[in-house]
Amino acid sequence: MLWTPARINRYHLTTAEIVYHLPDHPAVLQTYLWQDFDVAPAFPVLTSFLEFWERNLDGRLHSVNVGTKTLLGPSELCNADHHAVLH
């Protein structure tokens, strides 16, 4: 994939917490973390992955929580409250 400035501005680092039922023990939930570059708010890459999951994997989806972060933006600075020295 060729990363042009226009494409970079559209894509965000996207993390999804996928909670699913274990196939052998449906009452037990398991978490899977997925991360890729995707376009908000449609999230076509995540949607494609979830469709693949439903077609090919036995674990039934319970819920999906999505977080996203822009690739380019102003620097974030914060002051440190503590100072420590390690020997």
- Each domain of the chain, given as residue ranges in start order, spans 5-70
Task: Compute φ and ψ for 47, nearest 5 degrees.
Answer: -60, -40
Min mean pLDDT across 11-15, 24-28, 52-56 is at: 11-15
Residues 6+ apart with CB under 8 A from 57: none
pLDDT at 6 over 60: no
pLDDT at 10: 80
Strands 11-21 and 61-70: antiparallel
The answer to pTM > 0.75 is no
pLDDT at 45: 94
Query: Which alpha helices (DSSP H) does the chain contain, by range?
Result: 5-10, 44-56
| Cβ atoms 32, 50 nearer than 8 A | no
Tokens at 37, concatenated: 């570059």
Residue range 39-86, pLDDT digits in tens: 988 999 999 999 999 999 999 999 999 998 766 555 565 666 666 666
**5-70 is classed in which CATH architecture?**
Roll (3.10)
Q: CA 78 to CA 18: how far, in whole Å?
A: 31
Q: CA 59 to CA 26: how far, in whole Å?
A: 8
pLDDT at 27: 95
